[in-house]
Structure 1
């Protein structure tokens, strides 16, 4: 029988880090059957606090984690690796691992915990259990899958476990499809794309348009557009806008700012312009998001 989900009167599992400044988490089955092929246990998205550090010698499930913002470091079985947007890694019950965030640029990362008899083979075939992280392109495609998992996990229908299992399998297949191979896809063009992306990550509050991004990187807008469509799957402006709206959502929920206050802080001319941009990204107006506070 599945373990009840944590709620306000039930503390979260001990393996869940509390060193976060904001998180959305869901729990499906904290006591998965040993007979199951693949079970989604839990998952979510977290923004690290500057002092975030996790060190584990054991873990009850298999975990997939993907960095979408910020920077950090990862140690897997004694080997150290840098973490940045587009890096995905996994670990299992026997994997020694430590995760740190950069204190100046804290990470935001999605995670998915799974269990079952086919889990180790599934992750192994994707190269996720080779003792090193992988790098993927078209990060927005993975964000969509993680967000779909979050949405479906909260639907509470009889089909929820099956839908989430299918999405977990899709996530792993997508990792196999979109993994960047060192020395092959990691070309000079990709390095330039990473430089542009890093510039947006660092300065999205000051940047207004794709032309601003191109000027900041000493490139033509056409070149920037081509690189983002090739490696990111979306335009530079769409990526910049999502960065701004991610920050806006945090201001609305965590700092409880008014819509007009968020619009002003992000540099929009008025609340209407901001609300239109917010709805373009999330599909709902910001005032609807404020209701979850």
Structure 2
């Protein structure tokens, strides 16, 4: 018997208290855990994607842990300062990009799927402080995910714990009003099959004025944004909600699964059936 291995375990076992109730123990959080987790670090501003002046739009959650270096994060074109010691959570389908980032840099990016969590009105804090508890949770996650034999279930539990700490942090003051991009994104979720005329009516403006305002605020055409966000919303439904391709096509406003599949593959690079 390897005494170096077993002696610490015996000491730890000896310190375990007897349960007060042999039928009630620790419970896991009831919500679904993150899945399909990737983690990587960026140490130079030039390594960030997308580059300065550009925005990304995709269907994965992004958690950024700023450990060194500062910069500006744009979420739906709204700028916010990233400083060391902060966590930032970006939900899917939110335009985001970076600018004025200063080297040297150490930002950890953790991207993941999170079944059962809506990217609209998800209720999580946008950013929080990395306190001692969050730092320990992040360290445990990075230790596990950096192992050659990393266990996905353990990584999911570690990340879930970090997200819960982030969510339970003190709330930020509420925004005075939702941006035009946020209002359009909510419309895509709730009324995916409706056309531009209905969207303009709901926004209380003409189609031409809505197009012009959206381009000025978002930096891209309303048509492109609607098309790509609907397809990415459909990707979330296919992957997380178990939609069929036919159902995803109808929810995204396409007349049939064939035209939907062609548009989906052009935008995503793979067919929708790959997510089933």
- Give yes or no for TM over 0.5: no
Q: Using CA pairs below 8 Å that are at least 6 residues apart, which structure has the higher relative contact order? A: 2
Q: TM-score, normalised by structure 1?
A: 0.41
Question: Looking at CA atoms only, which structure, 1 or 2, has the larger radius of gyration?
Answer: 2
Q: TM-score, normalised by structure 2?
A: 0.43
